Amino acid sequence: MTSGACIFCRIIKKEVPARIVFEEDGIVAFEDMNPQAPVHIIIISEKHIEKISDLAGGDSDLAANLMLAAKKIAKKSGVEESGYRLVINCNRDAGQQVFHLHLHLLGGRKFTWPPG
Ligand code: 5GP
Ligand code: ZN
């Protein structure tokens, strides 16, 4: 299921160019166009779900596949040992800009905690 106006759905359909680094089990990952770290990958499901709050019980495989993709991509990107951060922004206070559920995989530098 895709949503015509959604920029990430358009990337999945290859209507919008992106540097795709992973495609497997209904999951697609690509380099963020405005990277916040040397490694900054966006990981999404092919199914259009607006935000994590909209995940349903039937999406458990999808949710698991997102996480499994993240660890595989971290390894492939060379940050498995050095470390990385996974971020999901949901709604206004978290600053969600694109309403197609996505995981940010950030690595290649040291991060602070708590986040800003
Ligand atoms: P959010 O704030 O919604 O969690 O993050 C959305 C992310 O998607 C941002 O980091 C932004 O740079 C990235 N992004 C938005 N539009 C595009 C696009 O068309 N192509 C790529 N590669 N990244 C995008
Ligand atoms: Zn979408």
Residue from 33, 39, 66 to probe ligand 1 pocket by mutation (most atoms less than 8 Å from CB): 33
pLDDT of residue 116: 86
Is 113 contained in some domain? no
- Buried residues in 48-61 as b, exposed as e (16+ CB within 10 A): bbbbbeebeeebee
Question: pTM (2 decimals)?
Answer: 0.97
CATH label of the domain that carries residue 91: 3.30.428.10
11: left (phi over 0), alpha (psi -120 to 50) or beta: alpha
Catalytic residues: 102
The strand pairing partners of 105, in sequence order, are 41, 86
Residue with CA closest to ligand 1 atom 18? 33
How many domains would you assign to the chain? 1
> Where does the pLDDT of residue 1 fall: very low under 50, low under 70, confident under 90, or very high at 90 and above?
low
pLDDT band for 61, please (50, 70, 90 cuts).
Answer: very high
Q: What mean pLDDT is predicted for residues 22-26?
A: 96
Residue 54 forms part of a structural domain? yes
Cα–Cα distance between 93 and 81 in angstroms, integer? 31
In a domain, 85, yes or no: yes
